[in-house]
Amino acid sequence: MIHPIPPGTRDVLPDEMRELRRLNRLLIEVFEEAGYGEVSTPAIEYDEVISRGERPQAASPYRFFDENGDLLALRSDMTVPIARLVATRFADAPKPLRLCYLASAYRAVTPQRGEMREFVQAGIELIGAPGADGTAEVIGVLEAALDAAGLDRTVIGLGHADLYRNLLTEFGVDGEARDAILTRLATHDLVGLEAELSEAGIGTAATEACVALSQLRGGAEVLERAREIGGDAIERTTTRLQRTYEKLLESGTADRVQIDFGLLRDLGYYSGAIFEVYDPALGHILGGGGRYDGFLSKFGPDLPAAGFSLYLERVHVAQMEEEARRAERTAS
Amino acid sequence: MAGVAGGGARSDGPLKLAVPRGALFGETLDVLDAAGVDTSPLRGDSRSLIFHTDEMTLVTMRPSDVPTYVEAGAADVGITGKDVLLEQADRTVYELLDLGFGKCRMVLAGPRGDERMGETFRRLGTMRIATKYPRIAERYFEDTGRQVELIEVKGSVELAPLIGLGDGIVDLVATGRTLAENDLEVREEIVDCTARFVANRVAHKLRASEVDDLTARLRVASRA
């Protein structure tokens, strides 16, 4: 008998499970060693809680009623449940708090595109540690996790979530025009970006500055190149990125980091530093994270926070690709 | 396993460029030549799909497959029409450059001198529209506040209204000759489409200098 399962979900059989389990253990060990305690939260939460974290248009796609008529939702990541947990269970605990997790999350992505609707994330949240120090600690743990997984070719793109909002304010663009421009930047549609910018009537110089900035990525030298473009918003962002980058240099964890002025993450709650993880073996990102200062105030005390999550199955695929590559090189 | 993360897309070796076969093929080769990419192996009558040059690997495919390969990272960069990108708007590819050639228009067309579309819309509050571009059509009618019944066809869409499948069509028009030959006329213009240069998001980060260099060369070549 063949019984189907919903699109975007899958069974895991013993051979794969054994490897995933090994990877899980490695990652959690790295997190525990860095002082992050593992937590687990329910996969279903009250929709009212989950939807606090999201932009209204990105609420959980999986919602249903329980026997009391309460609206429940499947979590779409772990950051929101952990924000809820911190406000509820650790309100009076000394800060910073260090928590980690390994958990399934759910998103209504289009199947058959290399993305699953149910997927496992491994990550950490650092609550109550502000600024460059906090960000650098999180990136340091991320590096250790990638090392433990044997991914020596991964790159961490480091950018800033507020850059374009501030830059457009500086150019006097707001409201719908600003949202349209931010959408183009988020989808990296440069042709559309130029069209929206010129429609906003900010002049050729500002348009060119914005487009050039979105293509600026590389080592420490891009900080200088950003400064050459000029303006207060860019100066502020560059100074912050530089501070974070210097912290990473100090702690010896800057090797993998690529500074990226074009980086924008889709999740609505980020403020400050943001990052994404790339591996040459995969066309999709391995994970990402960033600062979400201000977000916890939706649940309780306003605490600065940062974290990251890795897509476990993708890290596993990248591991396999890297192993195959190393085997090839040894053979030749 | 392949479904999990699009495995097998390697960014080692030469940059992989997806080249569209079909209407955009000739001009794509011309602009690549002008940008200093050797396309002579593609100009023969070889049945091969993959061609190696010193600098990069050129992979030929249907234009509508380009976003699929580029999104998955199987190709690092590619060239395809804006119509394809709009129809597959949910795919994550970076659109880096308008190459300017392959210009055509997405239009709403109906039988010449025939008021069937208006008549059906007035009496039934809807229109039946045949198209190969259901998502572009759906978005257009939504944006203009009209309810229509879309009928997706794969082949010559001009046929549909002629034999009673639908009142009109949404289709891509270059010269308008096919429309004219089938007694159809443009009623509304939806969007202009040209060829675009796109990149995989990971390749855009990890092979930044190669991607930027090719973008700059194509920019110059396409403006010439």
Tokens of A236: 């502020």
Tokens of A110: 């289009």
Q: pLDDT tens, A119-173?
A: 999 999 999 999 999 999 999 999 999 999 999 999 999 999 989 989 999 999 9
What's the CA gap between B188 and B98, in Å, rounded? 24
A207 inside domain: no
**pLDDT at residue A61 in the model:** 80
Interface probe for B, chosen from A152, A187, A190 (most Cβ of B below 10 Å), is A190
A275 inside domain: yes
A232 inside domain: no
**pLDDT at residue B7 in the model:** 39
> Residues A165, A175: contact at Cβ < 8 Å?
no
- Same fold? B14-103+194-223, B104-191: yes
Query: Once rounded to an integer, what is the mean pLDDT over residues B49-53?
Result: 91
> Residues A308, A123: contact at Cβ < 8 Å?
yes
Which residues partner with A274 through β-bridges?
A159, A290
DSSP state of B108: E
What's the CA gap between B189 and B212, in Å, rounded? 34
- Tell me the nearest-neighbour CA distance from B60 into chain A, angstroms: 19
Are the beta carbons of A282 and B206 separated by less than 8 Å?
Answer: no
Is the C-alpha dihedral spanning B113, B118, B120, B126 positive or negative?
positive
A171 inside domain: no
Tracing tokens 């390749």 back to the chain, one arrives at B203
Residues of A in contact with B200 (CB under 8 A): 283
Tokens of A303: 């605490």
**pLDDT at residue A331 in the model:** 85
Q: Is the pLDDT of residue B8 over 50?
A: no
CATH code for the domain of A316: 3.30.930.10
Tokens of A192: 């559309």
What's the CA gap between A29 and A48, in Å, rounded? 34
Q: What angle do the packed helices A163-170 and A175-187 form, to 10 degrees?
A: 140
Tokens of A207: 């348009």
Q: Choose among A16, A280, A321: nearest Cβ to B206.
A: A280
**A65 CB burial (10 A radius; 0-12, 13-18, 19+):** exposed
**pLDDT at residue A50 in the model:** 86
Which chain A residue lies closest to B7 (C-alpha atoms)? A282
Q: Confidence band (pLDDT; 50, 70, 90) for B11?
A: low
Q: Is the pLDDT of residue B10 over 90?
A: no
Are the beta carbons of B10 and A192 separated by less than 8 Å?
Answer: no
Q: Residue A4, Cβ neighbours under 10 Å: how many?
A: 5
Give the count of Cβ contacts less than 8 A between chain A and B. 99
**pLDDT at residue B164 in the model:** 87
Q: Choose among B3, B4, B6: nearest Cβ to A283.
A: B6
Q: Choose among A283, A311, A316: nearest Cβ to B73.
A: A283
**pLDDT at residue A115 in the model:** 82
DSSP state of A68: T
Q: Is the pLDDT of residue B205 over 90?
A: yes
A310 inside domain: yes
**DSSP assignment string, B141-181:** HHHTT---EEEE-SS-TTHHHHTTS-SEEEEEESSSHHHHH
**pLDDT at residue A54 in the model:** 62
A247 inside domain: no
Q: Residue A297, Cβ neighbours under 10 Å: how many?
A: 12
Residues of A in contact with B208 (CB under 8 A): 217-218, 258
Are the beta carbons of A191 and B202 separated by less than 8 Å?
Answer: no
**A325 closest CA partner among A151, A99, A115:** A151
Pick B107 or A114 by higher pLDDT.
Answer: B107
Question: From start to end of chain B, where are the E strands?
Answer: 15-20, 50-52, 56-61, 77-81, 94-98, 104-111, 128-131, 149-152, 168-173, 184-193, 195-199
Number of H helices, E strands in chain B: 11, 11
Q: Is the pLDDT of residue B9 over 50?
A: no
Are the beta carbons of B98 and A191 separated by less than 8 Å?
Answer: yes
**pLDDT at residue A217 in the model:** 94
Q: Choose among A10, A280, A320: nearest Cβ to B10.
A: A280
Query: Once rounded to an integer, what is the mean pLDDT over residues B62-81?
Result: 96
**A106 closest CA partner among A120, A118, A92, A97:** A118
**A319 closest CA partner among B218, B183, B5:** B5
**For chain B, how long is the longest CA-to-CA vector?**
63
**B182 closest CA partner among B166, B161, B154:** B161
> Residues B218, B19: contact at Cβ < 8 Å?
no
Residues of B in contact with A260 (CB under 8 A): 205
Range of the domain at A52: 14-161+266-331
Q: Of the CATH numbers 3.30.300.10, 3.40.190.10, 3.40.50.720, 3.60.70.12, which one belongs to the domain with range B14-103+194-223?
A: 3.40.190.10
Give CA separation, A14 vs A20, A136, A252, in Å: 10, 37, 38
Are the beta carbons of A281 and B196 separated by less than 8 Å?
Answer: no
Give CA separation, A164 vs A59, A179, A231, A234, in Å: 24, 10, 12, 9
Q: Is the pLDDT of residue B33 over 70?
A: yes
Weakly modelled stretches of chain A, pLDDT under 70: 53-59, 266-267
* Share of chain B residues as helix, strand and coil, in percent rounded to the nearest 5: 40, 30, 35
- Tell me the nearest-neighbour CA distance from B86 into chain A, angstroms: 11
What's the CA gap between A74 and B38, in Å, rounded? 52
Angle at A31 between CA A29 and CA A32, to 5 degrees: 65
Tokens of B175: 């010269």
Interface confidence (ipTM) of the complex: 0.88
C-alpha dihedral (A160, A164, A166, A167), degrees to nearest 10: 120
**pLDDT at residue B6 in the model:** 38
**A89 CB burial (10 A radius; 0-12, 13-18, 19+):** exposed
Q: Is the pLDDT of residue B122 over 80?
A: no
A304 inside domain: yes
> Residues B198, B77: contact at Cβ < 8 Å?
yes
Q: Residue B223, Cβ neighbours under 10 Å: how many?
A: 9
Domain ranges of chain B: 14-103+194-223, 104-191
Q: Residue A186, Cβ neighbours under 10 Å: how many?
A: 13
> Residues B131, B169: contact at Cβ < 8 Å?
yes
Q: Choose among A187, A215, A280: nearest Cβ to B11.
A: A280
With respect to CATH, is domain B104-191 assigned 3.30.70.260? no
Q: How many domains does chain A have?
A: 1
- Tell me the nearest-neighbour CA distance from B10 into chain A, angstroms: 5
- Tell me the nearest-neighbour CA distance from A217 into chain B, angstroms: 7
Q: What are the φ and ψ backbone dihedral angles of A67, each rounded to 5 degrees?
A: -65, -15
Tokens of A12: 């895991």
**pLDDT at residue B47 in the model:** 84
What 3-state class would DSSP assign to A8?
coil
Are the beta carbons of B72 and A281 separated by less than 8 Å?
Answer: no
What's the CA gap between A120 and A142, in Å, rounded? 16
A53 inside domain: yes
Tokens of B4: 């999990």
